[in-house]
Structure 1
């Protein structure tokens, strides 16, 4: 995923997420297609996303929205809408990102319900290589227009599960039964986000659909801007080593719906900060150094203090919902998410390639080394500082810092390889180091 920011946008046009040759955006504007007024069913309605042409030109729904109740939802609900992207972009060789359905098959109609207007529900039949993410409603018993919805290329989605029931026509008196359900994305793989478009799936029964009803979510990679890594310190003489190296920054871009931000209402984030930047700034910091002026190897020992603060980490996660060890959201505490999603940062960005458990401890690490004769050796540790920023550059929550026991670097002077090997050992091997020191 990349942000579509290389072209100047018209005043009202909104930034889109770009996934290969697919553009994804969001709308809070809808048109009511059908509701259950007049029938004896509980209140329910079906709405079609209608993105404003000046804000989102060329964008289509992936299906309609089903809600419980008859209230006007404009400005209160949000759904994903899609547009065909650059035909020269990555992934375009696989074919167009979007396609009209070939046809529809009827899932339900309200005959016999007594509702004020006729209504029906239809399942798009996608072309080969494409999938339909949601059902489409009609304010009569005729098929909707083939231009009412778009199907998505199969490699741009991920199989999902049926979520909670939204509405059913129980008690309506209709000749057919019907129930509408949400979609739940699976747990995200490292470096990816899976999210439901907001459409509904359904079946001609009151039972939760099983394997005979397919459910899909959109998928994207979390874009990572990786700048050149921090340059390791170099010793140029026997004077005291530099305390730290130059800084290097990596940036992960996270969509608005995957970030909790107490300063903005959920849908307000869409217009004021559609994208958040999680910045990681790295630098090497001196742990300690030893100057061996003797004629044989000498043993040195230092303590590398962990900079991870469990309290600050908890505050950061509570305020943003972002997790470093696993996917999120882990729990929503009863909150209704504007977009159902699962996200997980890449292991390289969170520095969890070997183990995520190190985000759970702030214990110090003991470092020992045998410094050859007539050498100065400095031990550095890579520190990473994380900061979450809104689109306007203001900070969300608190900064947090991280180090682990794998990211040490040794700098020595003179740099030539000596007959005695310079080595670092974990604390568990201190006794062995003492026994073998020359």
Structure 2
């Protein structure tokens, strides 16, 4: 896959690991195995680990677990990554039950950089500085320890230790934040609480946003727009037919496409010398409630933030789409269809056409196949006033089927003649 890019940082993923140590024979109450991400594959040269991986069992994680690895956009003069200045000891397995020594170390990052995870030493030896890379602080966000992976209770070690997963914070609109798969740790059995206890990577969600379709003239329906689309990294999508590893390999990027079409639904000809008021009804909001189905099937929250809802082989993340793409700033949102009463003041000897914009959303895999249902959203009502000389013979336009009116509520919209728009 092509690496993800955030500023001058490249982010890729590995499914290959080298086992470092497990706690078999220590009589610890829980199981743990420590692994080191491998970047020996040709497409990962030169990428670097951000820290080791702790797993609460003895299973082989190769080709089953995924972690992030990083590189520089500028391989020669880049400043996104630096080796740690040193390491400080967090824990070592020393005591009467030691069969194979193990130690855990916290990297000490250079000024302006942060360490993303802990690493294991060979025996009690300090790891070499080249074991991992630290990341420049503007490329990450502060995070916190989340779920317990392992502690050494019962192991006979002379000091205490616990390892924890990392929970990213709430993502900003148009961005994803990703825990790389490393672990946080403490020399105690208590969850680390001093902030920050860990960090997550920042990833900008790529949005391709062409111009909206031209407005239709009178009763002639306008053309459909070219699709605007968000490119969503594989780890932000739960796929019913692909495992996370299969997603990484066959569909590393998903496209959430939006197409817009103006649909005219009403027209009034005032051929008198007096003004008049007309009333129309227009749908507003989501057509049907497929956004809930999309969230259930793919994990994607169309109007808000969504987080990891995938197997343990995947990564912890938070993601959010921009509100302009999702109509998120609309008064009536997703999962809520209303019928708006449109009250229009038509001046003497004027014609007016009313139309709405329908946005359709489709989630596509790399091969073009669809994942989850298609969504529809009716947004604002717009009016087009014109003189009788501009008249075009009216055509019969049948609106598309809408959800039953019984499922909606009635709302009155006012009209401002000066700008020829509705204010819902």
TM-score, structure 1 as length reference = 0.85
Q: Provide the C-alpha distance between the structure 2 equivalents of 1:134 and 1:383, rounded to a whole number of angstroms.
A: 46
Q: Deviations over 1:148-197 (max 9, x none)?
A: 11111111111111101101111111111111111101121222111111
Aligned equivalents of 1:197, 1:22: Cα separation in 2:
14
- The residue number in structure 2 matching 1:326 is 304
Q: Once structures 1 and 2 are overlaid, which stretch shifts more, 67-76 or 244-253?
A: 244-253
Partner of 1:436: none
Aligned-partner SS, 2:247: helix
Whether 1:44 and 2:39 are equivalent positions in the alignment is no
Aligned to 2:122: 139
Structure 2: tracts of 5 or more residues without a match: 390-410, 416-424
- Contact between 2:83 and 2:132, CA under 8 Å: does it hold in 1? yes
1:254 aligns with 2:239: no
- Within the candidate set 404, 409, 413, 2:386 is matched to 413
> For the residues of structure 2 that align with 1:415 and 1:260, how far apart are their CA atoms?
54
C-alpha deviation, 1:310, in angstroms: 3.7
Shift of 1:57: 1.3
CA contact (8 A) 2:352 2:384 kept: yes
Task: Report deviation, 1:47.
Answer: 0.3
**d(CA) in 1 for partners of 2:272, 2:227:** 40
Aligned partner of 1:304 in structure 2 is 282
- Equivalent in the alignment of 1:33: 20
Deviation at 1:52, TM superposition (A): 3.4
CA 140–108 in structure 1, closer or farther in 2 if over 3 Å, else same: same
Q: Which residue of 1 aligns with 2:314?
A: 338
CA contact 2:205–2:231 (8 Å) conserved in 1:
yes
How far apart are residue 105 of structure 1 and its match? 0.8
1:390-413 Cα distance to aligned partner (Å, 9 max, x none):
011111111110023xx2222222
Q: Please show how residues 200-239 of structure 1 align to structure 2 within 5 Å.
A: 200-211=183-194, 214-235=197-218
Q: What is the deviation of 1:210?
A: 1.8
Whole-Å separation in 2 of the counterparts to 1:138 and 1:60: 17
Contact 1:87–1:96, Cα closer than 8 Å, also in 2: no
Offset of residue 112 of structure 1: 1.3
Q: Which of 26, 42, 61 lines up with 1:73 in the alignment?
A: 61
| Residue of structure 1 equivalent to 2:392 | none
**Residue equivalent to 1:130:** 113
Q: 2: CA distance between counterparts of 1:139 and 1:289?
A: 79
Pair 1:156–1:302, CA change in 2 (3 A): same
Matched, 1:150 2:128: no
Q: Which runs of 5+ in 1 are unaligned?
A: 1-13, 236-240, 417-425, 431-438
Change (3 A) 1:113 1:231: farther
Deviant stretches of 4+, over 6 Å: none
The answer (yes or no) to whether the contact 1:37–1:115 under 8 Å persists in 2 is no
Aligned ranges for residues 273-312 of structure 1 at < 5 Å?
Answer: 273-306=251-284, 308-312=286-290
Match status 1:22 vs 2:22:
no
Q: In the aligned structure 2, how far is the partner of 1:127 from the partner of 1:233?
A: 59
Q: Which residue of 1 aligns with 2:398?
A: none
CA distance in 2, matches of 1:308, 1:51: 45
Judging changes above 3 Å, is the alpha-carbon distance between structure 1 residues 212 and 304 closer, same or farther for their aligned structure 2 residues?
closer
Output one character per residue of 1:247-287: Cα deviation in whole Å (capped at 9) or x when no partner: 23211011111111101112211101011000011121112
Matched, 1:192 2:167: no
Distance 1:86 1:112, change over 3 A: same
What's the CA shift for 1:309? Answer: 3.3
**Which residue does the alignment assign to 1:421?**
none
Residue-by-residue CA offset, 1:72-109 (whole Å, 9 max, x unaligned) = 11111110111111479xxx9xx711111111111111
The residue matched to 2:64 in structure 1 has which SS? coil
> Hey, what does 1:6 align to over in structure 2?
none
Q: Given the alignment of the two structures, is residue 173 of structure 1 paired with residue 173 of structure 2, yes or no? A: no
Contact 2:282–2:381 (8 Å) recurs in 1: no
Pair 1:427 & 2:388 matched: no
TM-aligned CA deviation for residue 139 of structure 1: 2.0
The 3 A distance-change label for structure 1 pair 212 and 344 is: closer
CA RMSD of aligned residues (A): 2.2
Instruction: Output the CA distance in 2 between the equivalents of 1:24 and 1:164.
Output: 24
**Is the aligned partner of 1:96 residue 2:79?**
yes
Corresponding residue to 2:327 among 346, 351, 355: 351
Q: In the alignment, is the contact (CA less than 8 A) between 2:71 and 2:81 conserved in 1?
A: yes
